[in-house]
Copies of this chain bind each other. A is one copy, B any other.
């Protein structure tokens, strides 16, 4: 049985960069392109050649990078009305980008031709044909993006098809139908795509958006009727609500539809890492609820589901999480019941009986803490300290006597200075230290480490990796409760801790203290074995 190949065309660096809150540096773009290439994406659209100097810088940089799998595409538009292609600045910029592939978009919808471009239907067809032909004459692989194709087709199928024909006759290598406004239904996409696939002898692609929450479904609907090229972005980032999400399209194509789209099927295991990498480079917080690759995609909370998953993993998992590089997570919460707490205690190496009063006591304490605003889903280490405290298996490593942080700015030219003092007791010794930092939490962290390192040298290995703040009651603003999550690491492990208080400094302090205590607990366990 021959398997159909689907070309994946990534436009994270161009359409994705148009998303609210997204901004890639040229260097970040190169990093992303390298990862996309390693993963095995067929085409990487690097940017809009004519519109952004940063994009041109990317094209210059990427030429020095040897790529294994991907072809780089530069994006642009058809020539301006009443301009010869040789004199068109946009087309010149495409050539200057010096990429093997050029993707140009043109109009298929009469409304746009007359109302946005202010030109005639005939001139628009000439613009398409001239531009494709010009780029082909310069030896480019030309992908023609038919903007607003579905809306245009619904409005005037004859003109929409004539626009495609102009591109095809001029030598376009692929006709991509763009569902630009993102509002079409899958059955419309299927029907119209099929009409195009049937009419033209060259590869047809689809470019969809998620405005109706149907971006992925519309892409798959196109593939179902014969499209062989899918455009989208990693994590679905893009203007408005985003583009078709390749992080979902790719596993659906491979695992559900048995189609091939990567040079090596086992690369799929890199999907979650790729998704996280793109979030990082785009400086966005990952969407935990993201299908396939999100932190919560295989997280089980309700007691019954956890029980089911333990019995048969297929029960509540549509795929094996490892196939996309993800993993199962058991969440700790009031809904989770004794079976989760029990699993977690086992994980920690504690000997507890599932039906013991201890497990009930932990559950009760947990419920109380959650009412106060704590959450342990991202703060495993704090949860483990909590279990140990409730089970009275916790021996304090130090006693805190107090702390103070001062932040001040007296000269507008200088920044704000933060200075912290910490006083604590280890046995009979009292340590009183001072630290300064880029902010109050940094200063507290410096002072705390300084106080402890004399007694516990391993504390020197602990670094803060991430710090996040959530205001729990938005209506009360600064007087509301604040939850701070801190991620720490020591080179081989990472762990999360949580603190809650009306005062952001106190919440941060609490999470900091849990973090160092957890490290000391790890060390103690290690020395025991």
A348 contacts across to B, CB distance below 8 A = none
Verify A438–B478 contact, CB threshold 8 A: yes
Q: Does A464 contact B (CB under 8 A)?
A: yes
Interface string of A105-127 (1 = CB under 8 A from B): 00000011001100000000000
Interface string of A400-441 (1 = CB under 8 A from B): 111111111111100110100000000000000000011111
Smallest beta-carbon distance A184→chain B, Å? 8
Q: How far is the CA of A305 from the CA of B180 in the complex (A)?
A: 11
Determine which residue in A187, A217, A370 has the highest number of CB atoms from chain B within 10 A of its CB, and name it.
Answer: A217
Interface string of A286-304 (1 = CB under 8 A from B): 0111111010111111110
Verify A405–B407 contact, CB threshold 8 A: yes
A439 contacts across to B, CB distance below 8 A = 478-479, 482, 501-506
Smallest beta-carbon distance A434→chain B, Å? 13
Closest to A242 in B: B289
A411 contacts across to B, CB distance below 8 A = 402
Verify A301–B506 contact, CB threshold 8 A: no
Q: Does A17 contact B (CB under 8 A)?
A: yes
A308 contacts across to B, CB distance below 8 A = 112, 116
Verify A294–B478 contact, CB threshold 8 A: no
Verify A311–B116 contact, CB threshold 8 A: yes
Contacts A405-B407, A501-B416 given; indicate if A314 touches B111 (C-beta within 8 A). yes
Verify A213–B21 contact, CB threshold 8 A: no
Closest to A289 in B: B241
Q: Does A456 contact B (CB under 8 A)?
A: no
Residues of chain A in range 228-282 having any CB-CB distance to chain B below 8 Å? 239-242, 245, 248, 251-252, 256-257, 280
Q: Does A139 contact B (CB under 8 A)?
A: no
Residue from B18, B112, B301, B402 in contact with A410 in the complex, judged by beta carbons closer than 8 Å:
B402
Verify A52–B475 contact, CB threshold 8 A: no
Closest to A410 in B: B402
Contacts A291-B210, A408-B405 given; indicate if A471 touches B471 (C-beta within 8 A). no
Q: How many residues of chain A get a CB closer than 8 Å to chain B's CBs?
A: 129
Verify B186–A186 contact, CB threshold 8 A: yes
Verify A20–B299 contact, CB threshold 8 A: yes
Interface string of A15-30 (1 = CB under 8 A from B): 0011111010000000
Verify A478–B239 contact, CB threshold 8 A: no
Interface string of A144-177 (1 = CB under 8 A from B): 0000100100000000000000000000000000
A213 contacts across to B, CB distance below 8 A = 215-217, 245, 248, 252, 291-292
Q: Does A31 contact B (CB under 8 A)?
A: no
4 further interface pairs, Cβ-Cβ under 8 Å (given A212-B248, A241-B291): A20-B289, A400-B412, A415-B502, A441-B478
Binding site for B on A (CB under 8 A): 17-21, 23, 51-52, 111-112, 115-116, 148, 151, 180-187, 210-217, 220-221, 224, 239-242, 245, 248, 251-252, 256-257, 280, 283, 285, 287-292, 294, 296-303, 305, 307-308, 311-312, 314-319, 331, 333-335, 370, 375, 377, 400-412, 415-416, 418, 437-442, 445, 463-475, 477-480, 482, 486-487, 501-506, 509
